[in-house]
Structure formats: structure tokens, C-alpha cells
Amino acid sequence: MTRPLLETVDLKKHYGGTRKLLQRPKPLVKAVDGIDLQLAPGEVLGLVGESGCGKSTLARTLLGLERETEGTITFDGQDVGGRGASAAREIRSDIQYVHQDPGAALDPWWRIGDTLHETLKIHGVTDKAERDARIEEMLLAVGLNDSFRRRYPHELSGGQQRRVGLARTLSLRPRLVILDEPTSGLDLSVQATVLKLMLELRAQYDLTYLFISHDLSVVERLCDRVAIMYLGRIVEIGAAEQVFSKPAHPYTQALLASAPTLERQEAGKPIEGDPPSPTNRPEGCPFHPRCPMAEAACRQVVPDLADLAAAHRVACPPALRTLTPQ
């Protein structure tokens, strides 16, 4: 890989666990628990996992909205974690977020144009002409004409709200965009056009995407690589084509078997066992209580990612043993 645009090493974000004066102790939640991730410039990396596995926490930590508990975050060669919030803010403005529900992120009493101006003002674009130019450019880029400036959020369809959300994010000229479930709640046809637009914008503006989704068919269609997350850790990562055609981790296999994919439209067999509980994490491999391949060692040792093939890594010793040629 060329120098990664974003790199995390052993990144952790834990909540609770400490008792503050006059407060009841909160349970320790290891929402993100040791993530090593590299994003190459220009790629689309999909991040997939069941609800509660820590996807949004990872996103917020990368954005600097949460302070990491441990580990490092490097953006374009510069350490952006562990520093004072203001020191990292400038670099961090290169990383932007597309909200899961852009309708909720828009002020219902404000015209779209005012919201877009305000966003740019907050980010230090003081020149009004410059803001006007950027807003005009971005609305056009997302396929909305200039009249949308004068509209209110409730006058927009779900798809149009997503476009405004994209315009708002891209007006800040980010280099890395984190999209958290960006098409959830949209009709399939609208979803398809919004996804197509996202890919076009990526090429046009030289963007790198971290694409968070629980929808495997969307990830398969859109992403170059995919990372599968389970209880705060990445359990498998590789080229989307590799992971979808030869899933190695038992969790990835179960996830693929349970969800509609490009080939199979309808949902399949649900994953067996109880959904993971972050406050009651099992010892050893977090997936072992639901895993058909679990061995004694899986109950004791948290497995690290290891190479299965070129650029395909899996955190499952039994799977690696079975799949690697002797």
C-alpha cells in the first residue's frame, strides 16, 4: 500500500468502568477494542457488523468527537490522536462525516442555503462570496438546482435530503469522508441513485470513503475492501471480492448466510446464539459462544488478525488452519 491516508494502531474507545463522585458506577463497555486499520488514498473501505459492534464509536473517534482511550490515529502521516482538541482540529477538518439521517441534522426552521452557509461559517469560511460559490458548486454536483437554497428541509424528499447532506459535507473540502449508514431508510431505487452519486463524487473530488453499513449487498457493490467488525474488533478484512466469495471467519460466513446479497435477494438463515452484549463480553474470541468452529483455545485467547492470503486477514486460528495449504 502507498502511504495510507488514515491509519489506526490498536485503537480503543472504552466507556464507563470508572466511578465518579456521587454517581453510580457505569458498566465498562469496550465499544472499540484494538483496531488496526489502514485506508489507502482513493479507496472505499466498507465497515460491516451487527448493531452495537462499535461502528459509530469508531467513526466518532476518528472524527475527534470522542477521545480515544488508547492507541494512535495517523492522518496523512500526522498523529491526530492524543493531542489537544484544538491542535488536531485543523487536520481533522480533512475528515468529514455524512450523517445517518441528514434530515435530522438539518434545522427544520432554516432554509437549506442558510444551513449550508452556517456550516461553512463554523468551519472558518468567512468570505460570503466564497461560501456562495462553494454552495452553488456543491448543490450542482449533487444534482440539485440553485432553487433548493430557498427550500426548507420538510419540502425535500428523503433522497434530496441525502443529497443536501452530501453537499454540506463536501462543501468543507474533506479528503476522507466517513459515511455512517448513508442510505438507511431510503427506497431501493433512491438508494441506488444516491450510491451512484457517491461514487461519482468520490472520483470527481478525489475522496477516500469509510463506508459504514450493515447492508452487505450495498457494501459488495460499492466498496473496494471490506472490514468485518464484531464486538469492537475487526475479525476479517480483505478485498470485497475475496471476502464475499471466500469468507473465512465463521462470523463473516454467518453474516453472509443471514443477509440478502447481490446473488440472493431474500434474507437467509439467522445467526445462531445470542447477539453479542458489550457489557458482558466473553473471554477469549468474542464470537466463540456462537461459533460452530470454537475450540478450547478460543475460549481463552483473543485472536489477532493474521494473513490468510495477500491482503486478506482473518482473526480465527481454526479457520486459518483449515484454509491455509499445509
Q: What residues between 33 and 62 interact with Mg ion by CB under 5 A? A: 55-56
Instruction: Tell whether residue 278 is a contact of ligand ADP (CB under 6 A).
Output: yes
Instruction: Tell whether residue 54 is a contact of ligand ADP (CB under 6 A).
Output: yes
Q: Residue 286 binds which one of ligand ADP, Mg ion, none, with CB within 5 to 8 A depending on kind?
A: none
Q: Choose between 57 and 169: whose C-beta lies nearer to ligand ADP.
A: 57
Q: Pairing between strand 44-48 and 208-213?
A: parallel
Task: Give the residue ranges of DSSP H helices in 123-268.
Answer: 128-141, 158-170, 188-205, 216-222, 240-245, 250-258
Instruction: Tell whether residue 53 is a contact of ligand ADP (CB under 6 A).
Output: yes
Give the separation between CA 22 and CA 24, rounded to whole angstroms: 7
Q: Choose between 51 and 300: whose C-beta lies nearer to ligand ADP.
A: 51
Q: Choose between 57 and 161: whose C-beta lies nearer to ligand ADP.
A: 57
Q: Choose between 49 and 284: whose C-beta lies nearer to ligand ADP.
A: 49
Instruction: Tell whether residue 242 is a contact of ligand ADP (CB under 6 A).
Output: no
Helix (H) or strand (E) holding 11: strand 6-15
Alpha-carbon distances, residue 211 vs 50, 78, 180 (angstroms): 14, 22, 6
Q: Residue 243 binds which one of ligand ADP, Mg ion, none, with CB within 5 to 8 A depending on kind?
A: none
Task: Choose the binding region for ligand ADP from 45-53, 77-85, 255-263, 284-292 (rule: CB under 6 A).
Answer: 45-53
Q: Residue 240 binds which one of ligand ADP, Mg ion, none, with CB within 5 to 8 A depending on kind?
A: none
Residue 180's closest CA among 102, 268, 259, 98?
Answer: 98
Amino acid at 202: R
Q: Residue 54 binds which one of Mg ion, ligand ADP, none, with CB within 5 to 8 A depending on kind?
A: ligand ADP
Render the burial of 22-57: b for 16+ CB within 10 Å, e for the rest.
Answer: eeeeeeebbbbbbbbbbbebebbbbbbbbebbbbbb
Amino acid at 168: R
Task: Give the residue ranges of DSSP H helices in the chain.
Answer: 55-62, 85-92, 102-105, 112-122, 128-141, 158-170, 188-205, 216-222, 240-245, 250-258, 317-323
With CB under 6 A as the contact rule, the residue among 35, 48, 57, 227 that binds ligand ADP is 57
Q: Residue 53 binds which one of Mg ion, ligand ADP, none, with CB within 5 to 8 A depending on kind?
A: ligand ADP
Instruction: Tell whether residue 71 is a contact of ligand ADP (CB under 6 A).
Output: no
Q: Nearest 5°: phi and psi at 7? A: -140, 135
Cβ proximity of 228 and 220 under 8 Å: no
Q: Choose between 25 and 124: whose C-beta lies nearer to ligand ADP.
A: 25
Cβ proximity of 315 and 305 under 8 Å: yes
Q: Nearest 5°: phi and psi at 11? A: -75, 130
Amino acid at 323: L
Instruction: Tell whether residue 143 is a contact of ligand ADP (CB under 6 A).
Output: no
Site string for ligand ADP, 6-35 (x = CB under 6 A): ---------xx------------x-x----
Q: Choose between 29 and 88: whose C-beta lies nearer to ligand ADP.
A: 29
> Measured from the CB of residue 209, what is the shortest distance to ligand ADP in angstroms?
17
Instruction: Tell whether residue 198 is a contact of ligand ADP (CB under 6 A).
Output: no
Q: Which parts of this chain interact with ligand ADP (CB under 6 A)?
A: 15-16, 29, 31, 49, 51-57, 278
